Amino acid sequence: MPDNASPQTDALRVLALPEPLKLDCGETLEHVDIAYESWGTLNEDRTNVVLVCHALTGDQFAGSPNPVTGRPAWWTRIVGPGKAVDTDRFHVIATNVLGGCMGTTGPASKAPDGKPYGTRFPVITIADMVRAQRAFIEALGIDSLFCVIGGSMGGMQALEWAAQAPDQVFTSVPIATSASHSAQNIAFYEVGRQAIMADPDWCEGHYLAEGKRPSRGLAIARMAAHITYVSESALKRKFDRGLQDRERTSFSFDADFQVESYLRYQGNSFVDRFDANSYLYVTRAMDYFDLASRREGRLADVFRGTPVRFCLFSFSSDWHYPPEANRDITRALAAAGAEVSYLDIESDKGHDAFLLEEPIYEKALTGFLSANAELRGI
């Protein structure tokens, strides 16, 4: 979508929220579109809805290919017929987050004056994203969710849903996530944002109006972030010091090493499908996320007496949102008296393991959802 940062194709299903959306920053968005996709059938009692929340660079196409980018569904191992999030049993919905760039209102969308928002778009939070999802779900005529599930930033939304609307969520499955961004998380995303803003084609955020794209900055942002999504051992296993299409080093700054070539590919393929300003806004929302801060730093108080049934997963080699971050959430939930399960999966695949083949994780998640579906009478 090089010529159109905010795709408005017929292939996207979009619902306009009936009411303006009030944001944490104090501003109000008068018009909000929510782009979404769904799979499976809504049951008569409307009790079988699973909301899948995507990560930073994800979209609503968790269970079917993205018609705009042509990319395959991003969560094929988890969402589908007979999978853990079983589309034969559940009505599965995924939305593009507020501030995103796959059809939901974001910085690339047109402001009321007809020009793209750019950096005039208000700074949003994870709580705002969930407020938008709640308004969207309500507009669909759905009162409650059987499950809110997501990895990484999707896990933050799963936690935020449970905090905002405990009576509307039966189960919450936050995966490889954190209840607040660490200094290290903020630091890595700041590198990305600075790379974007240092690109002259960023044009102080108004590149769309200028007909430009800060592709180099966005690619570097993606490269830096991608390093945190894979483990050191996975990089070693995949590439080690292997050379790319050559016998020896070239004594130049070409991509001599396979890992360089891989990162360049990750960066370059990203700029075709993602809006740079969206990257700024969504990473900022993650940086601002700190669930405990609204209860004087006591995360347990956020969930005291919650009826929501939680199941958390982490992956041993994840250094983006490490097991300890997920164990901290588990500890707070246990202290709050919540029904909570937590599995740390032994894996060398790093943060991205939540998207990849991990049999114990898939089996446990299937078991949790299926046992709870029975409890809910689904």
Q: Give the integer Cα–Cα distance in Å for 72 and 374.
A: 31
Give the nearer residue to another protein in terms of CB position, either 272 or 324. 324
| Closer Cβ to another protein, 110 or 331, answer by number | 331
Residue at 253: amino acid letter: F
Residue bearing tokens 């393991």:
353
**The two structure tokens encoding residue 279:** 């990257």
- The residues with which 171 forms a beta bridge, in sequence order, are 147, 309
Q: Please pick, among 152, 231, 317, 347, the residue that the annotation labels catalytic.
A: 152
Contact indicator for 308, 166 with CB cutoff of 8 Å? yes
Q: What one-letter code names the amino acid at 51?
A: L
The catalytically annotated residue of 59, 86, 275, 318 is: 318
> Tokens 């005039």 map to which residue?
120
Angle, helix 153-164 to helix 126-139, in steps of 10 degrees? 70
Among residues 199 and 344, whose Cβ is nearest to another protein? 344
Q: Which is nearer to another protein, 84 or 145 (CB)?
A: 84
By the criterion CB under 8 A, which residues form the site for another protein?
300, 309, 311, 327, 330-331, 334-335, 337, 339-346, 360, 363-364, 366-368, 370-372, 374-375
As measured in angstroms, the least distance from the Cβ of 330 to another protein is 6
Look up residue 329 and give its amino acid: I
Work out how close the CB of 52 gets to another protein at its nearest, in angstroms, rounded to a whole number: 19
Tokens 């905002």, residue? 164
Task: Give yes or no: 181 in active site.
Answer: no
CB of 337 vs another protein, minimal distance in Å: 7
- Which is nearer to another protein, 269 or 370 (by Cβ)? 370
Q: Cα(376)–Cα(46) distance, rounded to whole angstroms?
A: 11
Residue 320 falls in the annotated catalytic set: no
Assign residue 137 a region: left if phi > 0, alpha if psi is -120 to 50, beta otherwise? alpha
| Tokens of residue 378, six digits | 């689904």
CB of 5 to another protein, least distance (A): 42
Min dist. Cβ of residue 358 to another protein (A): 10
**Cα separation of 202 and 342, whole Å?**
42
- Dist CA 360 CA 348 (whole Å): 14
Q: Which of 54, 181, 320, 351 is catalytic?
A: 351
With respect to another protein, which residue has the nearer C-beta, 3 or 374?
374
The distance of closest approach from Cβ of residue 148 to another protein in the complex, given in angstroms and rounded to an integer, is 18
Tell me the three state secondary structure of residue 175.
strand
Residue-by-residue DSSP string for 43-60: -TTS--EEEEE--TT--S
Question: Does the annotation mark 24 as catalytic?
Answer: no
Q: Please, are residues 152 and 176 in contact by the beta-carbon 8 Å criterion? A: yes
CA dihedral for 272, 274, 277, 280, sign (positive or negative):
negative
> Smallest distance, Å, CB 304 to another protein?
11
Residue with smaller CB distance to another protein, 47 or 215: 47
Q: Which residues are the active-site residues? A: 152, 318, 351
